[in-house]
Amino acid sequence: MASKPVVEVRRSRRRRRTVSAYRDGERVVVLIPDRFSRAEESEWVDRMLARLAARHTGPSDQELTQRARRLAERYLSEYELAPASVRWVSNQRTRWGSCTPEDGTIRISERLRAMPDWVLDYVLLHELVHLIVPSHGSYFWALVSRYPKTERARGYLEGVAAASA
Ligand SMILES: [Zn+2]
């Protein structure tokens, strides 16, 4: 990371021990227990920034979830889909994405981080449609094809898969 991000520390009375952090646009929000001292606060902010920098070079899980919700509103509005969560995973070597319709969660392979946004959007929409239609039938593809770059993105991913095979 080139420069130190703007950090917003939020103290919570309900939080007892856990510290968490996420990116929100240009800022990093760090959530800490209210009882932390200033020294503990600064120690944890540094620690969480290092952790985020090591792990994230693009959108956070939170941003990914927001992105998926925007796509659902735009292309699948009549289904009123609101994915519960979308997160990056590093253990998916053969699939670009997966989902669990029962709880509305979606997982996206970390490999997508290195790819263009329009390819990521295609994979997100693909998984969103799976929350409605489990199999890859004609109805499934009719919904996915509402995203105008579907064919192009599928070609891109096939190319990546072929190159790494
Ligand atoms: Zn699929």
pLDDT in tens, 103-154: 999 999 988 988 899 999 999 999 999 999 999 999 999 999 999 999 999 9
Q: How far is the CA of 50 from the centre of ligand 1 (A)?
A: 35
Mean pLDDT (whole number) for 89-101: 87
pLDDT tens digit string along 15-43? 777 888 887 777 888 999 999 999 999 99
Please give the Cα distance from 66 to 69 (Å, whole number).
5
pLDDT of residue 57: 63
Q: In the prediction, which pLDDT does 4 show?
A: 66
User: Whole-number mean pLDDT of the chain?
Assistant: 89
3-34: b (≥16 Cβ within 10 Å) or e: eeeeeebeeeeebeeebebbbeeeebbbbbbe
Q: What is the mean pLDDT of residues 56-76?
A: 90
Q: What are the CA-CA distances from residue 26 to residues 39, 83, 96, 104, 153 (Å)?
A: 24, 24, 27, 28, 28
Using the mean position of ligand 1's atoms as its centre, give its distance from the Cα of residue 111 in Å: 17
143, 126 in Cβ contact below 8 A?
no
| Ligand 1 center from residue 106 Cα (angstroms) | 12
Give the Å distance between the CA of 94 and the centre of ligand 1: 12
Distance 126 CA to ligand 1 centre (A): 6
Q: What spacing in Å lies between the alpha carbon of 28 and ligand 1's midpoint?
A: 33
In this predicted structure, what is the pLDDT of residue 33?
92
What whole-number distance in Å separates Cα of residue 43 and Cα of residue 47?
6
Q: What is the pLDDT of residue 19?
A: 86
**Residue 1 confidence class, pLDDT cut points 50, 70, 90:** very low
